[in-house]
Structures are given as structure tokens and as C-alpha cells.
């Protein structure tokens, strides 16, 4: 059952969540609502999706993996069941006094320490959140929490004794992205933002598209590829529009589209005909001038 929790604007400027998919931030917030007063809940991705993303497709298990990798949550098992614990939940949330005690077993100190992976941003504040109203489940306007729920920057002590035998911590493998992977991700993100704004849906990404993204970055460079990808979706050319600005067309005409982006001039069928007509008129005028200079037939209007 969902519960009222506190949130503050600085959540959205968190440097770790800020580079992840926006749905990861929304999932993290949703976990606060589903967690008990100790910040624990059952690790059941399908049920969590039904509670937080009931109207859209979302790979909740993959996003939970990412949050665990970045140190926002711990995924663990106890007595054969899977659970999630939100890091520092009790430090930054003051649950209502009438909430019942947690029935989910906690993770040992040793297990928490061994499960911290990924990058950490600096700790934002240390003050406790104000309490909820003593006679209502509604949030008081001044009770917004001054801290984002992020892991402490201080290293936790390692337990001397081994973890209890009935608890198994799931340890996602840490992966370090290469510069090429970062450039590819930035390019796809820029293209997706522009695509969502124009068409209202996310573009399809598959193995073929992944190869096209890498090819575009190689041809235009890591700095220009994201900007050209975003500009491409804004081009009002009937050829591109009929294809819904498919990514493959961007790769096929990458250099030409880059020129349009650099010059700030979109070229479509209409502007191409205008340029063609202008050039034809110029050629005719130059031919007439050559005839006059050569003593040929003089134009009646000259």
C-alpha cells in the first residue's frame, strides 16, 4: 500500500539520477511510497511496475538493477524471499507515527557495505525531515525534506563477522562505459528528446539502430553528433516526414544534414527548387550576356 512521503526540488538536480533515464528517478520516488517505515519492500518487479507504471511499458527489473548499481537501494534475499531496502531511508524520512512496524528482515552491515557499487555524488545536507501531521496523513507545506535520499559519502564500517547464512545479497556487476559508449548514449538521448517532442512517442532502438548510432558518431564526432541528431528531427522535409525521421536516413545523409545545421538553413524540396530556379535564371542571364559580347543577336529588351 502506498504511503505519503517527503520530497524536495533538489532531487531533480542530483548528478547521478540526472544522467540516468528519467523513469529511474520516478521509480526511485515510487519506491519511497511503497516501502514500509524502515524503507523496505518486497523485490517483485512486476508488482512494483503495476503500482508505479500502470499505464506504460517499463523494464522495472533493469531500472532496479541500475539503482542498486548506483548505491540508491540494496536488493537482497532473506529466508528465500527477495527484498529491497532504500539506502538512508530512515535518515531522511519521518514516517507517520501510526504506520505499523516493518515485518521485513533488514540487511546486515556487512552485506550493505559489500553491495555499494557505482559513483556517488556529494551528500546534500544532513538535517532530518520535519514530521508529518500527528493527526493526518497529509503533508504539511513546511515539511518538505531538505535532503535527497542518496547514499552517504562516508565509507560504512565492514562487519567483522560474516553475514547471516540466510541472507544472500545480489551483486550486480559494475560496468565502466568507454568514451565511445558515452558518445553513443548522448547522441541517442538527444535524438530521443527531439523525437518525443515532435511525435509524442519514443523512437525504436534495436541492434541495427545501435550500429547506426556508432556510425554517426564516427563520421561526425562525439561533440557534433548529438546536436546534428536533434536538428535532424526538426527538418520539415516531406521525404524525412514520410519516414518519421527514421534514424537510418540521418546516417545516410549525415554530412549534408550537418551542413544545414552549421549554416542554420533547412533545405527541403521547396527550397531546393527555389535554388534550382535561381541557378537556371542566372545561367540564362550569363548566356545572354555572352551572346551580346560576341556580337550575336541582341535581346529585344536590351
pLDDT in tens, 36-72: 988 899 999 999 999 999 998 889 999 999 999 998 9
| 3 state DSSP class of 106 | coil
Model confidence band, residue 164 (pLDDT cutoffs 50, 70, 90): low
CA atoms of 68 and 116, how far apart (whole Å): 8
Count CB neighbours of 80 within 10 A: 7
CA atoms of 242 and 254, how far apart (whole Å): 18
The pLDDT of residue 65 is: 93
- Range in 4-13, 141-150, 170-179 with the lowest mean pLDDT: 141-150
273 sits in which H/E element: helix 269-293
Q: 64 near 45, Cβ under 8 Å?
A: yes
CA atoms of 85 and 277, how far apart (whole Å): 68
The pLDDT of residue 136 is: 34
Q: 52 near 1, Cβ under 8 Å?
A: no
CA atoms of 213 and 182, how far apart (whole Å): 11
> Rounded to the nearest 5 degrees, what angle is found at the Cα of 254, between the Cα atoms of 250 and 257?
90
- The rounded mean pLDDT for the chain is 76
Nearest to 231 by CA among 242, 245, 217, 213: 245
The pLDDT of residue 250 is: 95
The pLDDT of residue 50 is: 93
Model confidence band, residue 215 (pLDDT cutoffs 50, 70, 90): very high
Cell triple for residue 71? 548505491
> Rounded to the nearest 5 degrees, what angle is found at the Cα of 272, between the Cα atoms of 241 and 261?
65
Amino acid at each position: 500500500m502506498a504511503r505519503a512521503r517527503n520530497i524536495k526540488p533538489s532531487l531533480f538536480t542530483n548528478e547521478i539520477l540526472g544522467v540516468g533515464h528519467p523513469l529511474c528517478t520516478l521509480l526511485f520516488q515510487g519506491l519511497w511510497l511503497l516501502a514500509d517505515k524502515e524503507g523496505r519492500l518486497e523485490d517483485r518487479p512486476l508488482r512494483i511496475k503495476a503500482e508505479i507504471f500502470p499505464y506504460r511499458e517499463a523494464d522495472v527489473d533493469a531500472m532496479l538493477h541500475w539503482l542498486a548499481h548506483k548505491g540508491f537501494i540494496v536488493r537482497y534475499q532473506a529466508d528465500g524471499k527477495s527484498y529491497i531496502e532504500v539506502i538512508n531511508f530512515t535518515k531522511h524520512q519521518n514516517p507517520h507515527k501510526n504506520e505499523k512496524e516493518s515485518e521485513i528482515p533488514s540487511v546486515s552491515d556487512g552485506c550493505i557495505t559489500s553491495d555499494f557499487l557505482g559513483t556517488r555524488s556529494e551528500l546534500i545536507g544532513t538535517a532530518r525531515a520535519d514530521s508529518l501531521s500527528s493527526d493526518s496523513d497529509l503533508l504539511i507545506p513546511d515539511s518538505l525534506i531538505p535532503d535527497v535520499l542518496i547514499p552517504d559519502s562516508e565509507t560504512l564500517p565492514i562487519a567483522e563477522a560474516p553475514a547471516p547464512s540466510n541472507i544472500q545479497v545480489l551483486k550486480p556487476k559494475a560496468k565502466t562505459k568507454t568514451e565511445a559508449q558515452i558518445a553513443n548514449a548522448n547522441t541517442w538521448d538527444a535524438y530521443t528528446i527531439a523525437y518525443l517532442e515532435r511525435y509524442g512517442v519514443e523512437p525504436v532502438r534495436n541492434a541495427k539502430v545501435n550500429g547506426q548510432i556508432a556510425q554517426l558518431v564516427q563520421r561526425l564526432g562525439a561533440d557534433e553528433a548529438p546536436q546534428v541528431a536533434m536538428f535532424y528531427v526538426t527538418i520539415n522535409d516531406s521525404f524525412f516526414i514520410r519516414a518519421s525521421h527514421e534514424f537510418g536516413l540521418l546516417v545516410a545523409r549525415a554530412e549534408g544534414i550537418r551542413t544545414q545545421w552549421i549554416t542554420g538553413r533547412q533545405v527541403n524540396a521547396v527550397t531546393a527548387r527555389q535554388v534550382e530556379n535561381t541557378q537556371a535564371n542566372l545561367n540564362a542571364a550569363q548566356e545572354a550576356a555572352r551572346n551580346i559580347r560576341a556580337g550575336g543577336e541582341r535581346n529585344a529588351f536590351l
